[in-house]
């Protein structure tokens, strides 16, 4: 994925002269608690992620970024870094696995995917090229003979150009897979020059091969998208086939009982997170599935700054509901280190007939009003979980995080059952079901990361670097609810 945040990062990088990263040191990176990981070098960031699971090892290839896409004249200068794990707890980092070498025309090794076949790993990727002051993207591939740790580029390079009907600047991020009959496939995001409706030309170019070298184009499995459907992912899980793609950084998914559709568009899009860009997935042990994205930084480190390209790695566990739809939750093995602490005394900020506290439970009867209670003097970084039991409908309820007092009330986390939305300050997710029933709310406040899990089904992340208050407010507006089982853990970085 490159173009979704293009307008923003060009503003950031226009005066930068960064070229190809050569000073990334895998030996000094942290090897546990991989959530929100970026290289320790201040000027380096993590970009698009490409997970792959093979023979007990989870391979996480990711784009190594300097200066938020500033490399090689703003065309990226990206290369594939690699981190691996066998248990999701302990990780190893390696030197660049697939990099820019001495070719003047290579301006970025873009996102792609890998597949193991026989005793080799094959990496398929797009190369961003600038020729005669014009930029286009073309397909290349490389082979690893050491188990996927280092790759050698193959000839012909490139091996495939954009079809005539496809905009050559929007031809990238190939997804490779092998079907049940042994045929290899590539899904390559593209954009038609002349769509039937202007602005809806996004589609997937579909290539097939019997030998991973010679490819032919066949019928597309996806058309009519509003933008290039970047960083496609495709997999079968139990009785369902899933197709993932990202537009503007938001990851959508479709599902079908048949190989390439007709597709069902689920109402609850569990992978859409404004600060979780271009999710891709891979299997893991015991039938688990792991989704990995990158979380963009904010421009100028401001709460209202736009997303800019490159940031930190974000991992989620994905699971399958009985009806085949997907849900996401925190991936426990990668969370920050933390330990339980005593819950501070709950303070009541509303009249006794509206809010009361008993045995650590908060009861709010705020029909036609607002009920407020608070926790003072929380740690700088913490995790708080609770069970919220609404009593009938309500207008909104939630928390204010990193608050100073009632006037400087921090960042609002709002649950709204009528709209089926969860708002974390200035970003939100939609189609969140079950907000009118008992809710398990789990929140991580860690540095600038405000990470929220609702009922272990949907997650929303925001990056908010400015406010530093130590108080938390509970609130219910126009409704009644009981908040119970409050647990707090302090995060130690």
Q: What is the distance between the alpha carbons of residues 12 and 267, in angstroms, rounded to a whole number?
A: 35
Average pLDDT over residues 472-479: 98
Query: E strands within 197-275?
Result: 202-209, 216-218, 230-237, 240-247, 250-256
Please report which confidence band the pLDDT of residue 71 belongs to, taking 50, 70 and 90 as the band edges: confident
Average pLDDT over residues 323-331: 98
pLDDT above 80 (res 436): yes
Q: Looking at residue 264, what DSSP letter applies?
A: B
Average pLDDT over residues 416-441: 97
Average pLDDT over residues 84-110: 93
Burial 173-206 (b: 16+ CB within 10 A, else e): bbbbeeeeeeebbbbbbbbbeebeeeeebbbbbb
Average pLDDT over residues 342-367: 96
The CATH class that applies to domain 44-334 reads mainly beta
Contact 111, 48 (CB under 8 A): yes
Please report which confidence band the pLDDT of residue 450 belongs to, taking 50, 70 and 90 as the band edges: very high
pLDDT above 80 (res 8): no
Contact 33, 334 (CB under 8 A): yes
In the prediction, which pLDDT does 406 show?
A: 85
- What does the block give as tokens for 278? 């271009």
CATH superfamily of 338-491: Exo-inulinase; domain 1 (2.60.120.560)
Q: Where are the domains of the chain?
A: 44-334, 338-491
Q: What is the distance between the alpha carbons of residues 381 and 395, in angstroms, rounded to a whole number?
A: 29
In the prediction, which pLDDT does 18 show?
A: 47
pLDDT above 80 (res 59): yes
pLDDT above 70 (res 7): no
Mean pLDDT of the chain: 94
pLDDT above 80 (res 87): yes
pTM of the model: 0.94
In the prediction, which pLDDT does 237 show?
A: 97
Burial 68-83 (b: 16+ CB within 10 A, else e): bbbbbebbbbbbbbbb
Please report which confidence band the pLDDT of residue 1 belongs to, taking 50, 70 and 90 as the band edges: low
């Amino acid at each position: 994925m490159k173009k979704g945040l293009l307008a923003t990062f060009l503003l950031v990088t226009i005066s930068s002269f960064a070229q190809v990263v050569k000073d990334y040191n895998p030996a000094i990176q942290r090897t546990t608690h991989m959530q929100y990981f970026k290289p320790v070098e201040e000027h380096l960031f993590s970009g698009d992620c490409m997970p792959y699971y093979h023979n007990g090892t989870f391979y996480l290839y990711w784009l190594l970024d300097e200066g938020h896409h500033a490399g090689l004249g703003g065309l990226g200068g990206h290369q594939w870094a690699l981190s691996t794990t066998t248990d999701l707890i302990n990780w190893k980092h390696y030197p660049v696995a697939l990099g820019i070498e001495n070719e003047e025309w290579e301006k970025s090794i873009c996102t792609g995917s890998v597949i193991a076949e026989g005793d080799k790993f094959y990496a398929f990727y797009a190369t961003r090229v600038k020729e005669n002051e014009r930029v286009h993207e073309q397909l290349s591939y490389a082979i690893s003979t050491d188990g996927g740790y280092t790759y050698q580029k193959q000839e012909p390079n490139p091996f495939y150009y954009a079809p005539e009907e496809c905009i050559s600047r929007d031809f990238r991020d190939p997804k490779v897979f092998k079907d049940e009959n042994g045929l290899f496939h590539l899904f390559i995001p593209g954009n038609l020059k002349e769509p039937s409706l202007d602005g809806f030309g996004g589609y997937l170019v579909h290539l097939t091969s019997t030998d991973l070298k010679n490819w032919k184009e066949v019928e597309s499995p996806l058309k009519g998208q509003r933008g290039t459907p970047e960083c496609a992912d495709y997999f079968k899980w139990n009785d369902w086939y899933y197709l993932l793609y990202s537009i503007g950084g938001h990851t959508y998914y479709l599902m079908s009982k048949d190989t390439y559709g007709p597709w069902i568009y689920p109402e609850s899009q569990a992978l859409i997170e404004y600060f979780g860009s271009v999710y891709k997935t891979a299997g893991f042990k015991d039938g688990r599935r792991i989704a990995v994205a990158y979380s963009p930084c904010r421009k100028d480190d401001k709460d209202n700054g736009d997303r800019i390209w490159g940031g930190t790695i974000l991992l989620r566990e994905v699971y399958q509901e009985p009806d085949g739809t997907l849900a996401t939750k925190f991936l426990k093995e990668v969370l920050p280190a933390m330990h339980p602490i005593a819950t501070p005394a709950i303070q009541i900020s509303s009249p006794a007939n509206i809010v009361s506290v008993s045995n650590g439970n908060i009861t709010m009867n705020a029909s036609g009003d607002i009920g407020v209670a608070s926790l003072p003097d929380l740690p700088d970084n913490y995790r708080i979980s609770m069970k919220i039991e609404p009593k009938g409908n309500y207008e909104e309820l939630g928390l204010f995080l990193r608050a100073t007092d009632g006037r400087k009330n921090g960042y609002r986390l709002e649950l709204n059952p009528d709209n089926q939305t969860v708002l974390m300050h200035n970003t939100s997710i939609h189609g969140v079901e079950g907000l009118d029933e008992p809710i398990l709310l789990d929140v991580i406040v860690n540095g600038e990361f405000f990470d929220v899990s609702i009922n272990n089904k949907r997650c929303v992340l925001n990056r908010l670097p400015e406010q530093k208050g130590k108080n938390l407010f509970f609130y219910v507006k126009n409704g009644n609810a009981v908040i119970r089982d409050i647990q707090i853990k302090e995060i130690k970085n």
